[in-house]
A = this chain, B = another copy of it.
Amino acid sequence: MKRIASRVEYEGSIATVRIDEFRYADGSTAKRQIVTHPGAVAVVAHDDEHVWLVRQPREAVGEEALLELPAGKLDVPGELPLDCARRELLEEIGKQAMQWRELKRFFTSPGFAEEEVIVYLATGLVGVEHEPDPEERIEIVPWPLAELDPAIEECADSKSLIGLLILRSLLR
């Protein structure tokens, strides 16, 4: 499969939409609508007692705040994904971590979007003075590590589910 043409149809603040054309090994061609995205990181940060989650409004999908892993878009030019993950953990939870490990990379919706998320495991947590950004409307939720099943039940977004499902299998 080869990309043989690409045209930007719409350029927005987060998502840009392209129409790309591909040629397959059998010679046939097809057009695909593709939503571009810079990618994102998410952090499974836990100590002996808690996994550190957040609750935040997600306007795209409804009126209730969602329970999620701390996370953020790769929207600082030149910033490495791991540095973005460190920054998000500090900004959203107010913690630094001594140990970092990549748990999984995945595409949120590869049928139409480029977005790739890298999920990290962060341990050896140390609290740090921080001023949460009031614009972000984020509530910190220290969730008991012994109660992962109800967290997985409540979580409703892909990165948080994947991170917590992997954490549960690691802890068993």
Contact = CB atoms under 8 A, between A and B. Distances in A.
A106 B1 contact: no
A33 B17 contact: no
Contact of A57 (B24, B166, B172): B24
Interface in A93-140: 104-116, 137
Given A166-B165, A168-B169, A169-B165, A109 B12 contact: no
Interface stretch (A46-54, A79-87, A153-161): A153-161
A58 B165 contact: no
A130 to B, nearest CB: 21
A33 to B, nearest CB: 5
A22 B157 contact: no
B58 A111 contact: yes
A162 interface: yes
A10 B13 contact: no
B106 A158 contact: yes
Interface of A: 1-3, 9-10, 12-15, 17, 19-20, 22, 24, 30, 32-35, 37, 40, 57-61, 63, 66, 73, 104-116, 137, 155-159, 161-162, 165-166, 168-169, 172
4 smallest CB-CB distances across A and B, nearest first, come from A158-B158, A10-B10, A165-B165, A58-B110
